[in-house]
Amino acid sequence: MSKLQSHYDVVVIGAGPAGYVSAIRCAQLGLKTACVDNWSNNKRQSSLGGTYLNAGCVPAIALLESAKIYHLLNHEMSRHGIHAENISVDIPQMMRRKDKIIETLSNKIVDIFNHHKITRIHAQAKLLNACEVEITPVDHSSSSIIKAKNIILAAGSSPICLPCAPIDNEFIIDSTTALSLDGAPKKLGIIGAGVIGLELACIWKKLGSEIVMLEAQENFLTLPDQQISREAYRIYTQQGLEMRLGARVISTKKGHKKVTVEYQDSEGLHCLRVDKLLVASGRKPNTENLIAAEANLMLDENGFVHVDENCRTTLPGVYAIGDLTSLGPMLAHKGIEEGVFVAEQIAGVHNPINYDLLPCVIYTEPEVAWVGQTEQALRAIGERIKIGTFPLSAAARSHAMGISEGMVKIIAHAETDAILGVHIIGAHASELIAEAALAMEFSASGEDLARTIHAHPTISEALHEAALSLEKRTLHLPVGILAS
């Protein structure tokens, strides 16, 4: 813990992507800054980076990369004329690699904090009023109060618990524990087939687990474009993910190293026995114990901090960013942008965020990514649109890489040709979506993207071809295939 002082220009509560970036930007702008964070790693040491770095995107992607290699060696290498025997997986070593990545990146944040002379406090923080924060060290030693002209709330979010499936992190586990298992469960049940559930399902399926997903909604993946969701459902089920939609969990019971799950669907009551049950039913903002009642800070009915379009709360000089607010989805890059935005606002600079162009990604294999509006949303408001699609199965690079499933879909205005939405499922979708977001940020038309020369053969030229197909003039597919 850095040396604690009593007065700061800015105190940031939380050191996830929103918090640590905001603290760094504040310090860069000459503001005396402190950052309070209570995350402790398995060594009971401070680990900056929040859920994103310690128990979210980064460890999930690290494990997915390891799982993909294992799956490739076991199931795909023979197609390349490469043969190997006695392939085995050391999951504890895989976890150690993941933990090393987390440690390295967390230490880099510490180095940046030190460089910018940011006071780092490993403690629980509570907002007392518009200018005071109570600090309680993680060792529960005596509390103290620090003051600041500005306070930025960036405490992040945590998994939602279900009364019907109480988490013990032995048999019924949360997403954090699911990223630290020392072996692949023979049969893994997952409550929730949303982003988190799918990402974890993909990892453990590739490591050998049988996966059964119970999703309460009748429709699969309602956030992306429905055409992309249908393609994702087809691909994931073909990979062996068993998804039971419209399945509402009623109760769970542990016994004999198994979990029995009772759930109901349109056909009645059913029972499912699994070795472990993962609860992946969404996340909630970490506002509990963050704000003293006497602070009179307004929250909504779901516990989100009420803010205006500038991330200002109902207390002067107090801001909330990242997962604590309902301004946009719970995404690391959304929090990062808000962290910079608020820091610069405090320093007198105003650069608003375009929430309409936040790219979204599901880190599965293949990946799903999108930016802008969906076809169903645009048709619901009567917008005149045209659609261009291109299957990755028609891209030469996809075949060479052996990952040809997926497609690119571009939605443009029927009259102005302005790009309104881009939706991708396929290899490297998380990288491809950046070009689409850039094009839309600069108000590009479908023709602009079609006229942009892309290297051949690449995966990215699928965007080019989808733009060409807006006018039914793609070069690599017969027109009849596009219409089918």
Tokens of 221: 């993946």
How far are the Cα atoms of 167, 179, 201, 281 from residue 174, in angstroms, in the given order?
A: 7, 9, 13, 9
Residues 6+ apart with CB under 8 A from 26: 9, 10, 12, 33, 152, 343, 346, 347
How far are the Cα atoms of 36, 197, 216, 261, 328 from residue 193, in angstroms, in the given order?
A: 34, 5, 9, 16, 21
How far apart are the C-alpha atoms of 285 and 151, rounded to whole Å?
17
Tokens of 57: 């995107």
Sequential DSSP letters for 377-412: HHHHTT--EEEEEEEGGG-HHHHHHT----EEEEEE
**Residue 421 DSSP code:** E
The backbone torsions φ and ψ at residue 372, rounded to the nearest 5 degrees and listed phi first, read: 85, -155
CA 119 from chain center: how many Å?
Answer: 28
> Is it true that the peptide bond before 316 is cis, omega within 30 degrees of 0?
no
CA 271 from chain center: how many Å?
Answer: 31
Percentages of the chain per state (helix, strand, coil), in multiples of 5 = 35, 25, 40
How far apart are the C-alpha atoms of 47 and 41, rounded to whole Å?
6
> Is it true that the peptide bond before 166 is cis, omega within 30 degrees of 0?
no
**Residue 335 DSSP code:** H
**Active site residue: 7, 115, 399, 456, which one?**
456
Closest Cα to residue 202, out of 12, 329, 342, 63? Answer: 63
Closest Cα to residue 125, out of 302, 292, 319? Answer: 292
454 is catalytic: no
Tokens of 37: 């964070």
How far are the Cα atoms of 72, 77, 129, 273, 393 from residue 401, in angstroms, in the given order?
A: 12, 11, 57, 38, 11
Q: Check: CB of residue 62 under 8 Å from CB of residue 98.
A: yes
Around Cβ 397, how many Cβ atoms within 10 Å? Answer: 19
Instruction: Please state whether beta strands 419-426 and 407-413 pair in parallel, antiparallel, or not at all (unpaired).
Output: antiparallel
Which residues does the annotation mark as catalytic? 456
